[in-house]
A and B are shown apart, each in its own frame.
Chain A
Amino acid sequence: GAVVSQHPSRVICKSGTSVKIECRSLDFQATTMFWYRQFPKQSLMLMATSNEGSKATYEQGVEKDKFLINHASLTLSTLTVTSAHPEDSSFYICSARFLEETQYFGPGTRLLVL
């Protein structure tokens, strides 16, 4: 299967700082990337969908000014959590897809905001 990487795998930061998470498709071109959030013992919640070269589409209830998404190339998307607060602590997972094919997930990033 296709390989998607995320960096960092784990990050701890102070409240009020911004954190950037990178998602890369390593062996295919990702025309679409998705960002999910997962709380303990819950399923994945889609935050936003991004197509290369265009603005991300955010799900209802997700603040676009708080969660900045950039999909500047066919292999890289970034999610920046701005002015992070403890309630933003979560497991953030990206996935990538080429055209209409299967979504492959990155390994996830655990964010802890103190």
Chain B
Amino acid sequence: EDKVVQSPLSLVVHEGDTVTLNCSYEVTNFRSLLWYKQEKKAPTFLFMLTSSGIEKKSGRLSSILDKKELFSILNITATQTGDSAVYLCAGDSSNTGKLIFGQGTTLQVKP
């Protein structure tokens, strides 16, 4: 059965800290891995990763995929209180076209 597991489930840091969020996956006919940020409303898209070893960056956020180890990480440097959210990763299967979501990591950044 396809599954996506995120760790840690929750994290509390102070502004300025760097955090690393983890995502491991087992997805049949894996096509891509996606990261989303969810605040009070629906998830907003962060990254889509399809190739191993190529880092994607957007400001203070970056992510990378390891297709051999079936793993991805999301890094946030110099965290700010506005980074507080639930971060979701999801595996996309070309088999089904569906996204399989992890449980999410709840990040709280304290001033």
Contact = CB atoms under 8 A, between A and B. Distances in A.
Nearest to A46: B98
A108 B101 contact: no
Interface stretch (B11-19, B22-30, B37-45): B37-45
Contacts of B85: none
A60 to B, nearest CB: 11
B41 A107 contact: yes
Contacts of A97: 97
Interface in A30-88: 32, 34, 42-44, 46, 49
A97 B98 CA distance: 11
Contacts, number: 43
B74 to A, nearest CB: 16
B101 A43 contact: yes
Contacts of A105: 36, 42-45
Interface in B71-102: 88, 92, 94, 97-99, 101-102
A2 B101 CA distance: 20
A49 B98 contact: yes
Q: How large is the interface on A (under 10, 10 to 19, 20 to 34, 35 or more residues)?
A: 20 to 34
A22 to B, nearest CB: 14
A102 interface: yes
B31 interface: yes
A104 B45 contact: yes
A69 to B, nearest CB: 15
Interface string A88-100: 0000010101001
Contacts of A46: 98-99
Contact of B45 (A1, A34, A43, A108): A1
Contacts of A100: 31, 94, 97
Interface of B: 31, 34, 36, 41-45, 48, 88, 92, 94, 97-99, 101-104
18 contacts: A1-B45, A6-B42, A34-B98, A42-B103, A46-B98, A49-B98, A93-B43, A95-B99, A100-B94, A102-B34, A102-B48, A103-B99, A105-B36, A105-B43, A105-B45, A107-B41, A108-B41, A108-B42
